[in-house]
Amino acid sequence: MARQKAVELTTIWKDKNVTSVLKIRVMKSMVWAVFRYGVEGWTLKKSHRNRIESFEMWCWRKMLGISWKEHCTNISILEEIGLERELMGKLARMKLQYFGHVTREMQEIWH
């Protein structure tokens, strides 16, 4: 569903009048928000982590209009937009926050 949302926003990605900063904000608020839905209940294995990191790079390539056939490295793409990988870190933080919430609730029940 998140990939579909990124594809639906193609007109924004291609628009030369929209700044890169705004495109990044749109990506994080519209596409990644859809992707992160329900992350608290996910079980993340190594293969899932690789797919999540691949999805993040696919999003940035889509936003920049860079095809995978152009053989640009992930590092060069991240340097171009001036960011580091952050989607996996956000997912892990969300899972930890939810875990903290659940443990606090359990403490209230038992005390």
Are 81 and 24 within 8 A, CB to CB?
yes
> Is the per-residue pLDDT at 111 higher than 80?
no
Per-residue model confidence (pLDDT) at position 26 = 94
What is the mean pLDDT of the segment spanning 61-73? 91
**How many other C-beta atoms are found inside a 10 Å radius of the C-beta of residue 99?**
11
Q: What is the DSSP letter of 28?
A: I
Q: Mention every residue, 6+ apart, whose C-beta is less than 8 A from residue 52.
A: 44, 87, 88, 91
> Is the per-residue pLDDT at 78 higher than 90?
yes
Tell me the per-residue pLDDT of 13-27, one tens digit each, with 9 for 90 and over.
999 999 999 999 999
Per-residue model confidence (pLDDT) at position 62 = 94
Tokens matching residue 29: 């608020």
Q: Which of 46, 47, 53 is nearest to 78 (CA)?
A: 53
Tokens matching residue 83: 């960011």
Please state the pTM of the whole predicted model: 0.81
What is the mean pLDDT of the segment spanning 43-49? 89
To the nearest 10°, report the CA torsion of 17, 22, 24, 27.
Answer: -90
Tokens matching residue 28: 């994080």
pLDDT band at 65 (very low <50, low <70, confident <90, very high): very high
Q: Which of 92, 35, 28, 23 is nearest to 63 (CA)?
A: 23
Average pLDDT, the chain: 90
